[in-house]
Structure formats: structure tokens, C-alpha cells
Amino acid sequence: MDATYTFLQHYWWLLVSLLGALLVFLLFVQGGQSLLFTIGKNQKQQKMLLNSTGRKWEFTFTTLVTFGGAFFASFPLFYSTSFGGAYWVWILILLCFVLQAVSYEYQAKHGNLLGKKTYQIFLLINGILGPVLLGAAVGTFFNGANFVVEKQNLTNLANPVISSWTSAWRGVEAAFVIWNVLLGLAVLFLSRVLALLYFVNNINDDEIQKKSRKQLIIETVLFLVFFLTFFVHLLIQDGFAVNPDTGEVYKETCKYLHNFLQMPAVLAVLLLGVVGVLFGIGKTILSAAWKKGIWFAGTGTVLTVLALLLCAGWNNTAYYPSLQNIQHSLTISNSCSSLFTLKTMAYVSILIPLVLAYIVYAWRALDIHKITGKEMEENEHTY
Amino acid sequence: MIAEIDISLIDWSRAQFALTAFYHWLFVPLTLGLGIIQAVMETIYYKTGDEFWKKTAKFWMKLFGINFAIGVATGLILEFEFGTNWSNYSWFVGDIFGAPLAIEGVVAFFMEATFIAVMFFGWNKVSKGFHLASTWLTIVGATMSAFWILVANGWMQYPTGMNFNPDVVRNEMESFWKVAFSPVALNKFIHTVLSGWVIGAMFVAGISSWYLLKKREIKFALSSIKVAVVFGLIACFFSIWTGDGSASQVAEKQPMKLAAMEGLYEGGEGVNLVGVGILNPGKEEYNDDKDAFLFKIDVPIPKLLSYLSFGKFNAYIPGIKNILDGGYPLKDGNVALSAKEKIEKGKIAVSALADYHKAKADSILYERKADSIKIALTAEINNCETAISEGDTIISQIVTADELFANKKAEITDKIADSRRLLFENFDYFGYGYIKEPKDLIPPVALTFYAFRVMIILGSFLLLLFALSTYLVYKNKFETKRWLQWICLISIFFAIFAGQAGWVVAEVGRQPWAIQDILPTSAAVSNLSTAAVQLTFFIFLALFTILLIAELKIMINAIKKGPQINEQ
């Protein structure tokens, strides 16, 4: 196969993985929502929490949208197969994000029809369900899903659908696979850990600081239990390998372990990420005055998730295995866009550093001023 | 598993998408229009330093914020619905269609999301200049996102810049510029964004009029109206101008849509434009002899439709019956095919694609078989120690086999080439292969016809209203004209209605096509049960409606509270 084409497939898998990794980091907004009533014991505290992580909700949302768009543009067969197949999982994810989009703005407004509490419960639902569902959906990248892809079906005039789902549960069946659930829970508790670190960094309030640091220990333990169980199993489980010459997919024992060993750079990214996460959490717990944990744990999260997703798609691996017919599994080469489109989109991707730069600039300009009780009382725009 | 895609699945899938789009378009145009108006107001504040303009801008921003989130939420659903409900579509044209969506995310949404946070929360945190830039960048981001999604929509109406790849069974992009800057996409973008500006302007003028009716916030209301009506007048004028442009594109690329817009069954040269009319509900078949109208009045300028469509008063416009029967001369000199012929050609293309794949699979099969037989014979000859004559027999067998395989291979290669040629000869009509009978090619005529009238009549009315209001505002007479203030207030709904009607014309009028002539909705859907789609439809309906009511209540509350500017 054309070397440029192969390169671009890997490049786009990298970009999609990077977006996915950023999305997991930005789920700290969801984590914050899920902790709203755990950390916030009165209305004023809850208001500060909402205005801390809440003012970043558009970033998480936009990253989700862009992740979808980029996946569509670079690997359209995944878009058509998974979204149209695992229908209810994706619809559930959409619904809980719709609830989030309106709730920040509406909960603080007069005449909001359902009452403040309802919108805060919407935020809670999104805060828990969002990370769990997204995590479980990513779990299927390693554990497979129930679909078949028959491109020739298009010539069947009565039923021309190319991708079909083979489970009547339409995606919900992924919840019956314990390893998917474990990843979902790991993502949930990671998002809560990150939210606590962000509260520590962003809110100038002694009580919230103290409570966040205390809660951090519990959430970290839960995160580590779920994540390590998932991860150890990942290393020893059968993976879905592809023969690059024939495109044939076959099971390989310890495939993901092999991937890390055969791609030392990815392994290095993984280890660096894990160290970042642990350092960010550890130092925050040990040093009562230190507030920079979110940046270490956040960067660490991006690197770790990036490495995991690269492990799912690179090194001749099928990133979306079909449990129904292993030969129908999606790989980065059989599900991608044409050479022309990948190339065109690669030019567009040159803009990404610019986008990241202005995000960082605007984020810093706002975050220099920490959230305080006083700001909440002033008659300015707040949630 | 569903053995056959049934009509109700297609209809419910369409209904679900239409519902989401309908709600999306309640909020987005207000974002687009209000975004510009508030940015203009903040610019005045930046230039004059007058706190009054800061407070005025901030009030409209507050309403902008209430409206913004739900537009974002419905937008997310629309994007993912291409995958969830239109799975085949996503593969068949994802190579082209995905690109604008991704670009929308990278260049537009992030800009919007980043700077909207500064706009809302940065008043006391960043400099005046940075804040103003953020307000502008928010609306620039929103407008760019409109551009890319309308590029995507324009491409569905007028597919260009791509090639069909039979090996992977999809269309592939061949020219990015043809897709991004197709005349249809550009016109659609300008027309749609301008219609959003009209709605934003009408919203500001209408709400301000309400304050005048209540004799509150007089200075605030009059100042807001001053900005809004001029902006609205310009937007409305150019919106109508570009509307004419899109009608002439429709005439050329989507003649069936034009015929439906006009209720035109029997076309001809020098066709009049229908002004108002009532369609005859008794007309059941496109080719029965019943009159299409119970009543109609043409626009008094004769032959206007021909002129607007092709720039010539005597230009030929085909009606629905003509398009289905064919036989009329086309612009390129050819004679139009009938619907039957197109369907025939479509079926040839689809079955040629099937033959192509079968031949390719056969070719691999034979190759493997040939290899294994040759290997077996060679092994035999190597083991052959007995008689030379026996070896000779095997060698002659190999030679015969080789000849046989060569012939067979040539035959298959021919088959591949033939089916490929047949496919591409007929590919222009590929989508017609899925059409059962000619009348399935007719979009809902009544809905398209009336929506088109509603859009044009309301659009013209708004132009007059903006012109009159501008005149009176700048003559300082608006404040006393209570009847006009009432009309302005009510016209908020007219503006929104006109925008919705426009989308009905664009989307209902192109049925049954998801992508014009290439993929009908029946071949674009996901393999879902109708019940699942129905359930989703009603969940969305309930959710969106509750959120809409909440939004309206919050908005009305905020308006009643007012901008709270201390006016002396």
C-alpha cells in the first residue's frame, strides 16, 4: 500500500486519539458536576463549584463535537457502523449531554420551569452517566462489538444497509462486559479526581479546599482499583491483530502488551502519563499548600489516554473488533477516508496548534482570577 | 434484522431529523443575528466609553446566553444523527461530508467556545480591547460554523467535486475547493446567515418596541432599535437578493424542487410566477387532467418565473409532469430522459456494481484455485519417477490447465471491465435505481408550495417593515407610533416563521433525495426498528419542548426585569 496513505492513516488515528485524550481530561467538568452535592454543602459553596468547573463546560462539549466530526472525516466506517449500530448507547450519551448544555445557564435563572434543583440533578446525571458511558464505549475498542459490515449490501435494493448490528440491545449489551464497565467506572473516578484537583487550584475558599483534598484520597483509591484491574487485564487479554499484507484479522494473546513493547515511544508516553497523574495527586495530598496538581494530573491523563488509544489502533491492531465476524473488524486502513480526504484534512490539522494556543491564552486570562465568595455575590454574570 | 427497509422507518427517521433541525433553527438564527448586534453595541461602547452602551450590550448578551446553550445542544444531536440514523449515508458520502463537519469543529466551534467564556465572564478580568475582540470572535466563530455546515448541506443539494469508488462502494472527494466553494454552498451560506440576521434584528426591534409600549427603558429601547432596524433593513434586502440567486440555482440543479415550489405540473416557455394560490386537493395523480389550482393569482409581471430562473423571459421551465415524462430539450442540447428511463439506468448501475464485485470475488477465487492445482500438478511431476511418458502427460496437463486458466482469467477481467464501464456509464442515475416508481420522485407539493409562499410573503413584509421603521426612527417619530410597535413585536414570530418555511422549501422540496440524484433517503437510513426511532422521536420531542418552554419563561422573565439602566 502507498506509504503516504499508511502514514496518514496513522496520523489521523493519532489526532483522533489526541482529541479523545483531551476529552477525557476535560471530563473534569463532569466530575465537578458529580461532586456538586458531595463537596458543596450549602448554596454558596455549590455556586462556587458550578462557576469553577462549569465555566469550562463548552470546552468539553466542543471537544466531544469535534471528536465526532474528526472521526467522521477520517474513519467514516466507524461513524456509520458504531453510531448507527450501538444506537441506544449513543442516544443516551447525547441525551445526557443535552441536559448539561442547558442546565448551567438555566439553573440560576428565574422562571426556569423545573426549578433550580432539577437542573442541578440534570448536571449530576450528566456528571455520572457521561464519563461512564463514554468510558464503556471506548472499552469496546478492546473488547469488541456486535456488528457486521457488508459493503455489497448496497446493491440489494430491498435492504441496502451496509453496517448492521447483531444484538437487539443496540449497544447496551456492552454494559454486560465487565471490562467495559470497569473502564467506564475508572473514567468516572478519574474525572472526579481531576475535578477535585481543579477545585483546589481554582477556588479560593478554605472549606472547599480542605474538603476537596480529603475527598481526593477516596476517589483516587477507587480510580486506581478500577483502572488497574482493567489495565492488567488489558495486558494479558487476547487482542485483535491484523495481517498487514492480507488484511486478515486474528486473535493474538497479549496483543496489547505486545503493542506497548513493540512501540517503545507509546510505552514511554504511557509511563510518563501515569507518573504525571500519580505525582499530581500524590503531591496534592501530601502538601497542603500545593495547588498545581491539576496540571500534572491533567497532562498525565492526556498522555495516558493517548497511549491507550494508540495501542488500540496502531501496530496492526483492529481498533473496533467485530464479535460477530472477526474479519469484519474495523482497522485504521479498512475504515478510513480516501487518500485525498486524509491529505486535505491533514492540511487543516496544521491549524490545531493555533487553536490550542488561543484556548490556553483565553483560559489563563480568566483563570488568573480565582473563584471567590465575593465574586459570587457581585451582580455579574454567574451560573 | 429487518429483511426489507420499510417506508415507516424512513419517514420516522426523517421526522426525527426534521424535528431536531426545526428546534435547532429556532435558536441558531437568533444567536447569529443577536451576536452581531451586541458586538456592534459593544464597539460603540469601546469607541465612546459611554457606560450606557456597555449596559445595553450586556442586556442583549444576557438574552443571547439564555438562547445559546440550547442551540449548541440540538447541534450536537444533529451531528451525531448522521451516524445514528443515516448510517449508509455516513459511509456512502462520509469521505466528502465528514470534512466540513470536522473543519467546523476545529476552526469554528473552538473559537466560539473559547471566546464566549471571555465574553460572559471576562468583563472585570480582561482589558476592554480583549473583551471586545472576544465578543466579535464569538460571533465570527458562530458564523464560520454556519458556513461549514451549509457547505455540507449545499453539497447534498448539488453534489460536486467527487468520484465514485466501486471497490470500497462510496463517493470520494476529488476537489476540496469544488466542495467548499460550490456556488450553491456559497449562496446558501449567505442567504441563511442573512435570514438569521433578520431574525436577530427583528427580535431586538420587537423586544425594544415592547418597552416602548410599556413606556419603560425609553432611551435603551430607542437606541437598540436604531441599531436593529438599519441592520435588519440591510440584511433583509440582501437576503431577498440572494434568495433569488438560490431560486435560479434550484431551477438549474433541482428542477423538480422548483416545479413543486410553484405547483407547476405542465411547464412551458415563458412561465408566470405564482403570487398566491390554493392548490387543488382533488388532484391525485401528477398526470391526471385535473387543474393543479382551485385558485391562483400570478405576479403581475408576465413570464417572471422564466426570467428569474434563467434570465430569459421565454426560457423553458419543465413542470412535474414534464420532468417525469421527459422529452423536453435540456440546456446542454440533449433531450431530457423520462423518469422510467432514469430508473432503468439506475437499476443497471446498481446491478453493474453487484456484478463488478462478484467478478472481482471470482477472480480471487480462480486465482487461488489455479495456484493450488498448479502446485498439486508440479508436486506430482516431481514425484514422478516411473515413466517419462507419464511425466509428459502431466506436463501437457499443466499446459492445458494454463491455457484454461488464462482464458478464464481473460473472461473474468473482461467481466470486471464491462461491469465497471456499465456502472460509470449509468452512474449519474445511480440513486434512481432505488426508486420504485416515477411518482416517488415528486416531493410533497403542497408543503413546498405553501412554505415557499410564506417565506416570500413574510420576507417582503419584513423588508417593508424595516424600511418604514428605519425612516420613522431616524425622523424621531417611532416612539409615538404604537401600532407600529405592536407590529414589530408580533413580527418576531413572522421572522422566525419565514426562516423555518425557508428550510421546509429547501429540505422537503428535495425529497426523495438525501443527496440529489445519487442517494435517496430510502437507501441512506440505518438498519433500525421503526419503534426505536419512534421512541427517540418522542423523547426528543418531549425534551426539546420542555426546554423550549423553560427557555421562553426565563427569557420573558429577563425581559420583564429589563436592562435596569438608570436613565435620566
Question: Is A98–B115 a contact, with Cβ atoms under 8 angstroms apart?
Answer: no
How close is the nearest chain A Cα to the Cα of B479, in Å? 30
Instruction: Specify the pLDDT at position B564.
Output: 84
Residues A209 and A212: their CA atoms lie apart, in Å, by 5
Which alpha helices (DSSP H) does B85-182 contain, by range? 87-103, 110-121, 128-157, 176-180
**What pLDDT digit, counting tens, does each position of A57-88 carry?**
999 999 999 999 999 999 999 999 999 999 99
Answer whether B161's CB lies under 8 Å from B182's CB: yes
Q: How many helices (H) and strands (E) does chain A have?
A: 17, 6
Name B531's Cβ contacts closer than 8 Å, sequence gap at least 6: none
User: How near does any CA of chain B get to the CA of A217, in Å?
Assistant: 31
Report the distance separating Cα B450 and Cα B293, nearest Å: 12
pLDDT at residue A231 tops 90: yes
The CA distance from B107 to A111, in Å, is 35
- Report d(CA A336, CA A162) in Å as an integer: 15
Range A103-120 average pLDDT: 92
The set of residues, in sequence order, having a beta carbon less than 8 Å from that of A103 and lying 6+ positions away, is A119, A120, A122, A123, A126
Determine if the pTM surpasses 0.90: yes
What pLDDT is attached to residue B538? 97
Nearest to B550 among A113, A158, A369 (CB): A113
Portion 82-101 of A in contact with B at CB < 8 A: 82-85, 87-88, 90-91, 94-95, 97-98, 101
- Summarised one tens digit per residue, pLDDT across range A326-378 is 999 999 999 999 999 999 999 999 999 999 999 999 999 988 888 888 888 87
Please tell me the distance from the alpha carbon of residue A281 to that of residue A297, in angstroms, as a whole number. 7
Quick one: which of A145, A150, A77, A169 has its CA closest to A323? A145
Grouping H, G, I as helix, E, B as strand and the rest as coil, residue B273 is coil
CA distance B333 to A296: 69
Residue for grid cell 418604514: B468
Select from B190, B108, B188 the least CA-distant residue to B152. B188
CA separation for the pair B442, B324 (Å, rounded): 9
Which residue in the set B70, B103, B126 is minimally distant from A102, CB to CB?
B70
Assess A102–B contact: CB distance below 8 Å, yes or no: yes
* Structural domain spans, chain A: 3-377
* Closest chain B residue to A166, measured at CA: B1
Instruction: State the Cα–Cα distance between residues A135 and A242, nearest whole angstrom.
Output: 24
- Using a CB–CB cutoff of 8 Å, tell me whether A357 touches chain B: no
Chain A residue numbers with beta carbons less than 8 Å from the beta carbon of B556 are: 111
Within 8 A of A104 by CB-CB distance, chain B residues are 69
Q: Do A365 and B76 touch (CB under 8 A)?
A: no
Q: Does A158 touch chain B (CB under 8 A)?
A: yes
Interface touch A72/B97, C-beta < 8 Å: yes
Residue B526 has its nearest CB partner, among A59, A84, A106, at A84
Note whether A65 contacts B: Cβ–Cβ < 8 A: yes
Burial label for B295, CB within 10 Å (0-12, 13-18, 19+), is exposed
Q: The complex's ipTM?
A: 0.93
The C-alpha atoms of residue B518 and residue B511 are separated, in whole angstroms, by 12
CA distance, residue A172 to nearest chain B CA (Å): 13
pLDDT tens by residue, chain B, 568 residues: 445 777 899 999 999 999 999 999 999 999 999 999 999 999 999 999 999 999 999 999 999 999 998 899 999 999 999 999 999 999 999 999 999 999 999 999 999 999 999 999 999 889 999 999 999 999 999 999 999 999 999 999 999 999 999 999 999 999 999 999 999 999 999 999 999 999 999 999 999 999 999 999 999 999 999 999 999 999 999 999 988 887 888 888 899 999 999 999 999 999 999 999 999 999 989 988 889 999 999 999 999 999 999 989 999 999 999 999 999 988 888 999 999 999 999 999 999 999 999 999 988 888 888 888 878 877 877 776 655 666 777 778 778 878 888 888 899 999 999 999 999 999 999 999 999 999 999 999 999 999 999 999 999 999 999 999 999 999 999 999 999 999 999 999 999 999 999 999 999 999 999 999 999 999 999 999 999 999 999 999 999 999 999 999 999 999 999 998 875 5
What is the sign, positive or negative, of the torsion defined by CA atoms of B316, B317, B321, B323? Answer: positive
Angle between helices B51-84 and A57-74 (to 10 degrees): 40
CA angle B60, B64, B70 (to 5 degrees): 160
Please tell me the distance from the alpha carbon of residue A374 to that of residue A85, in angstroms, as a whole number. Answer: 50
Bridge partners (DSSP) listed for residue B515: B519
Please report residues of B whose CB lies closer than 8 A to that of A162.
87-88, 91-92, 169
- CA–CA dist B243, B511 (Å, integer): 20
List the grid coordinates of B271. Answer: 412561465
